[in-house]
């Protein structure tokens, strides 16, 4: 678990941008966006940031073990404006995922309807009859031994959309045991990172973009795979 997730990181260190309308932060893996229902006493991102930047409104969430960029609203008006952008899918979210295997495609659009909480393990499942439309654009960024670094751009916002779509293609995210991924010792969690986020600033209307650098654990995992590739014959 990251230092921030254990409460050892200051809220200021998590902030990528802050003004009177929005706060953009880099969420560490292992830190829930909101209070963890299974562990109410654990630190959570909104609580940490709220110590210095209250009030904050939640616009979207990242899974507990997903790292990366997230935006909060700082006024009720900005909250409404950002919510509308997310609902209309005018934001652009880019994730990077370390997945098992070597996809045969360089890029692909996945259009598979999804139904959340669709089985006994409470997973999102592909359901052509009762699922809601879901689209994810995929791009192979780097091929590594037994793994591929993939860019995933969700065009819809279904629960666990990227995780489910990649698993359905036969390339589950490394470490995502819920969807068939196997643990990667260098990582210790599943390899999904919210790399960038674009949206219209709720006050100025200007298109703004933010990026979150890879955290140390993901950098270490990718570095280890690159080193393995460099030592392979041929």
Sequence-ordered list of residues with C-beta below 8 angstroms from that of 234, at least 6 positions apart, any chain: none
The DSSP bridge partners found for residue 192 are 97
What pLDDT shows up at residue 234? 62
The Cα-based distances of 53 to 23, 49, 166, 210, 212 in angstroms read 8, 6, 36, 19, 20
Question: Are β-strands 135-144 and 207-211 bridged in parallel, bridged antiparallel, or unpaired?
Answer: unpaired
CA 123/CA 117 separation, integer angstroms: 5
pLDDT single digits (tens) 69-127: 999 999 999 999 999 999 999 999 999 999 999 999 999 999 999 999 999 999 999 99
Structure-block tokens of residue 120: 């006994």
What pLDDT shows up at residue 98? 98
What is the number of domains present in the chain? Answer: 1
Q: Which of 5-9, 121-125, 216-220 shows the lowest mean pLDDT across its residues? A: 5-9
Which structural domain range is residue 96 located in?
A: 4-231
Phi/psi at 13 (5° precision): -70, -15
User: Hey, is 78 helix, strand or coil?
Assistant: helix
192: CATH: 3.30.2350.10
Structure-block tokens of residue 228: 């393995």
Structure-block tokens of residue 158: 């279904």
pLDDT single digits (tens) 148-207: 999 999 999 999 999 999 999 999 999 999 999 999 988 989 999 999 999 999 999 999
What pLDDT shows up at residue 35? 85
Asked if 16 and 69 count as a contact pair (C-beta separation under 8 A), the reply is yes
Structure-block tokens of residue 189: 């969690």
Which candidate in 19, 36, 63, 119 is catalytic?
63
For residue 3, is pLDDT > 60? no
For residue 5, is pLDDT > 80? no
| Sign of the torsion formed by the C-alpha atoms of 98, 102, 106 and 108 | negative
Let me know if 63 is a catalytic residue: yes
CB atoms within 10 A of CB 49: 21
pTM: 0.93
């Amino acid at each position: 678990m990251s230092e921030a997730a254990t409460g050892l990181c200051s809220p200021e260190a998590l902030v990528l941008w802050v003004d009177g309308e929005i706060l953009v932060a880099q969420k560490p893996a292992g830190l829930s966006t909101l209070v963890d229902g299974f562990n109410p006493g654990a630190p959570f991102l909104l609580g940490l940031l709220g110590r210095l930047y209250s009030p904050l409104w939640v616009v979207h969430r990242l899974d507990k073990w997903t790292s990366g960029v997230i935006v909060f609203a700082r006024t009720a008006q900005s909250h409404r404006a950002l919510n509308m952008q997310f609902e209309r899918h005018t934001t652009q979210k880019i994730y990077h995922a370390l997945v098992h295997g070597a996809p045969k495609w360089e890029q692909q659009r996945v259009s598979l309807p999804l139904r959340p909480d669709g089985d006994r393990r409470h997973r999102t499942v592909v359901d052509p009859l009762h699922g809601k439309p879901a689209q994810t654009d995929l791009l192979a960024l780097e091929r590594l031994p037994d793994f591929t670094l993939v860019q995933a751009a969700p065009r819809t916002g279904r629960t666990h959309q990227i995780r489910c779509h990649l698993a359905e293609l036969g390339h589950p995210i490394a470490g995502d045991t819920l969807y068939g991924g196997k643990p990667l010792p260098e990582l210790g969690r599943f390899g999904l990172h919210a790399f960038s986020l674009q949206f219209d600033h709720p006050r100025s209307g200007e298109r703004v973009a933010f990026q979150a650098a890879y955290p140390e654990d993901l950098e270490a995992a990718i570095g280890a795979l690159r080193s393995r590739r460099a030592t392979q014959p041929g």
